[in-house]
Amino acid sequence: MNIDSILATIKEYFAPKIIGEVNDVYVKVAKIKGSDLPWHNHPKEDEFFYILDGELLMEVEGKKSFKIGRGDFYIVKKGIKHRVSSSKECKIMLIENKSTAHTGEVKSKITKSIDEQLS
């Protein structure tokens, strides 16, 4: 499996694609550009962000906004409100429990179901 080849097939921003599973977690990739992701949290799950290419602005409740770049990772702990954005295209890998909803309990125009992420 080649991550760059998979990312080349993704045309929509903020639309994670599930590329594998390990035990009870999904491995996902996504492209981020703009600021369409709403503030949200995952009440029962942590979320792992790994930057494959580009730079991601992390906004985490109770912290000053910060950027992470290629090769960096950040773990958002369960229950913590957060959102991400990027002024230029950013490619990321996510590791999330299979039960993790894309935008938590917040529904927006970019929210993707697990079925949509599998296709």
Supply the mean pLDDT for the chain. Answer: 94
| pLDDT for the residue numbered 47 | 96
Alpha carbon 106 to its chain centroid, in Å, reads: 15
Closest CA to 75 of 93, 87, 88: 93
Three-state SS at 92: strand
| pLDDT of 107 | 85
- Going by pLDDT thresholds of 50, 70 and 90, the confidence category of residue 101 is confident
Tokens of 61: 């409740």
Q: Kindly list the structural domains of the chain, giving each domain's residue range(s) and its CATH number in brackets, ordered by start.
A: 3-118 (2.60.120.10)
The answer to whether 85 touches 32, Cβ cutoff 8 Å, is: yes
**Per-residue DSSP letters for 27-56?**
EEEEEEEES-PPPB--TT--EEEEEEESEE
Residue 35: partners with Cβ closer than 8 Å, 6 or more residues away: 83, 85
- Residues 4-62 have pLDDT tens digits of 999 999 999 999 999 999 999 999 999 999 998 999 999 999 999 999 999 999 999 99
- Distance (Å, whole) CA 32 – CA 14: 5
